[in-house]
């Protein structure tokens, strides 16, 4: 079983940030502070912002420094919690911030008790505050190994709005792993599924986000599969990984698809790992490729190629393994051209070739000469940035994506081992023979 990507300590940081944003929106509802007594939100804000105020702008603190600052932050939170808890005239809002201070001070039982009372006494309180309280209770209940309490509060969070997909992922993941460690395997899949669906809702903004998403999805699917297997539900275990294989093509993500194929092989399912996804399981059209310059041809889009089988090969001139794919790509283009096959080689500008700095124009000239040298008889496109890596989840090259006549991604190959190239050859042949559109 893989360890959870999102640890409890990180979840605490994330949920603290959410709580901080909530308190900022509520400041105007409190009485102004006096010199004798600060408001509950001011006590909380002092602790919450302690680390940020101590860090010198533009300077990255060392791990040792961060550890020291976190310890100091806990002390401030505990001191302020003691001050606030001593007040006899606390309002519901005061109790909310008291719970947050216990949360920052990592006083698990007082966090749970205080915020549970807050929820009981204030069912009509601001819904953002209620949801924040539920998420924080779940974290600390798990720290106390109160699995039933955590499961109850996670269900309340899941059944109410608004929700943060990151927070839902965090609490469902931690609960699922805690249940697995407690050998309560039959309760694991529900929460692993909740986290899985939350990950799918989290917006990815960078290629690194795509890879983090992939790691999370693979960990959760593996957790579901392991729990099903422990519960003697072997078919469900396999279906959890099958579902992920389909999703990896729908996204699409070459990185995730390769990982899922490896997982299926580990499970002894070589045929499923090394086969095309069935036509009816392919749901979404492939993302449009980003090409800023085509070599010696008119511009076109993937959408213009519906009815054709497309081989989309991601490569670079400096990539030695990529050179091994050239003979195969040229052979496929020649052999299946009349059957509606179109090969596209997608690369990007690197600003240099063979260790020599180049302008865009010089690099285009270099690529044209490179194409002639290797007798590449297929389309070559060049991208200015790295949008294609983001859109297709590409972590290494060469990566080859097979797109059917309907525009659906059906298979992805990464690397150039003899086994992989032979497999890819068979997949191309199958797709070309498959119906699904009119060939030109």
Clarify whether residues 158 and 298 are in a common domain. no
Would you say residue 255 lies in a domain?
no
Evaluate whether residue 408 is within a structural domain. Answer: yes
What's the CA gap between 95 and 117, in Å, rounded?
Answer: 8
- What's the distance, CA 74 to chain centroid? 30
pLDDT for 440 equals 35
Distances from the Cα of 275 to the Cα of 176, 217, 256, 270, angstroms: 31, 21, 16, 9
For residue 349, being part of any structural domain is answered with yes
Please give the pLDDT value at position 98: 97
At residue 170, the pLDDT reads: 97
Pair 399, 414: CB distance under 8 Å: yes
In-domain check, residue 89 = yes
Task: Read off the CATH number of the domain in which 320 is found.
Answer: 3.40.30.10
**Residues 317, 347: contact at Cβ < 8 Å?**
yes
Q: What is the pTM of this model?
A: 0.88
| Joined tokens for residue 410 | 């059906």
Q: What are phi and psi of 332, to 5 degrees?
A: -65, -40
Q: Is residue 299 domain-resident?
A: yes
| Cα(115)–Cα(74) distance, integer angstroms | 18
Query: Residue 129: what pLDDT?
Result: 87
Q: Can you give the pLDDT at residue 8? A: 47
Report yes or no on 384 lying in a domain: yes
Q: Is 279 within 8 Å of 434 (Cβ atoms)?
A: yes
Residues of the chain with pLDDT under 50: 4-10, 12-13, 17, 20-29, 31-35, 437-440
The number of folded domains in the chain is 2
The answer on 18 and 157 residing in a single domain is: yes
Does 264 map to a domain?
Answer: no
Q: Would you give the DSSP letter of residue 400? A: E
Domain range for 374 is 293-433
- What pLDDT score was predicted for residue 144? 98
Are 195 and 224 in contact by the 8 Å Cβ rule? The answer is no
3-state helix, strand, coil in the chain (%, to 5): 60, 10, 30
- Give the DSSP letter string of 113-177: HHHHHHHHH-TTS-HHHHHHHHHHHHHHHHHTT-HHHHHHHHHHHHTSS---HHHHHHHHHHHHH
The last residue of a domain, from among 112, 131, 163: 163
Using CA atoms, how far apart are residues 134 and 119, in angstroms rounded to an integer? 8
The residue among 102, 128, 163 that closes a domain is 163
Do residues 308 and 341 lie in contact, with contact meaning Cβ atoms separated by under 8 Å?
yes
Where is the domain boundary, 106, 136, 163? 163
- Tell me the DSSP string of 346-386: EEE--SEETTEE--HHHHHHHHHHHHHHHT--SEEEEESSS
Q: Are residues 156 and 15 in the same domain?
A: yes
**CATH for 79:** 1.25.40
What does DSSP assign to residue 268?
A: T
Residue 280 lies in a domain: no
């Amino acid at each position: 079983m893989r360890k959870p990507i999102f640890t409890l300590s990180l979840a605490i940081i994330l949920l603290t940030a959410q709580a901080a944003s909530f308190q900022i929106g509520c400041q105007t509802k409190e009485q102004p502070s006096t010199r004798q007594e600060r408001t509950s939100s001011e006590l909380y804000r002092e602790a919450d912002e302690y680390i940020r105020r101590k860090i010198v702008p533009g300077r990255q603190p060392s791990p040792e420094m961060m550890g020291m600052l976190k310890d100091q932050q806990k002390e401030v939170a505990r001191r302020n919690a003691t001050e606030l808890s001593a007040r006899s005239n606390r309002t519901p809002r005061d109790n909310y911030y008291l719970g947050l201070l216990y949360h920052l001070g990592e006083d698990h039982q007082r966090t749970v008790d205080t915020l549970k009372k807050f929820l009981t006494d204030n069912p009509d309180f601001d819904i953002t505050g209620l949801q924040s309280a539920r998420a924080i209770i779940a974290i600390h209940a798990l720290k106390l190994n109160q699995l039933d309490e955590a499961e109850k509060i996670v269900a309340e969070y899941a059944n109410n709005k608004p929700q943060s997909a990151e927070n839902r992922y965090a609490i469902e993941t931690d609960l699922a792993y805690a249940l697995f460690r407690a050998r309560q395997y039959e309760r694991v899949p529900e929460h692993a599924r909740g986290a899985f669906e939350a990950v799918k809702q989290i917006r990815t903004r960078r290629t690194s986000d795509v890879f983090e998403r992939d790691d999370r999805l693979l960990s959760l699917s593996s957790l579901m599969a392991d729990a099903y297997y422990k519960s003697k539900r072997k078919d469900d275990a396999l279906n959890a990984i099958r579902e992920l294989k389909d999703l990896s093509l729908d996204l699409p993500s070459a990185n995730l698809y390769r990982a899922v194929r490896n997982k299926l092989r580990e499970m002894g399912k070589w045929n499923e790992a090394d086969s095309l996804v069935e036509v009816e399981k392919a749901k979404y059209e492939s993302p449009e490729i980003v090409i800023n310059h085509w070599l010696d041809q008119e511009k076109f889009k993937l959408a213009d190629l519906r009815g054709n089988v497309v081989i989309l090969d991601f490569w670079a001139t400096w990539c030695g393994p990529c050179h091994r794919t050239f003979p195969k790509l040229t052979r496929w283009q020649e052999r299946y051209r009349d059957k509606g096959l179109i090969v596209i080689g997608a690369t990007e500008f690197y600003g240099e070739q063979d260790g020599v700095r180049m302008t865009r124009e010089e690099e285009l000239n270099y690529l044209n000469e490179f194409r002639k040298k290797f007798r590449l008889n297929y389309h070559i496109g060049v991208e200015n940035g790295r949008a294609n890596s983001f859109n297709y989840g590409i972590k290494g090259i060469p990566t080859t994506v097979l797109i059917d006549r309907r525009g659906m991604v059906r298979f992805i190959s990464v690397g150039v081992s003899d086994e992989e190239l032979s497999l890819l050859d068979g997949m191309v042949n199958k797709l070309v023979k498959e119906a699904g559109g009119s060939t030109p």
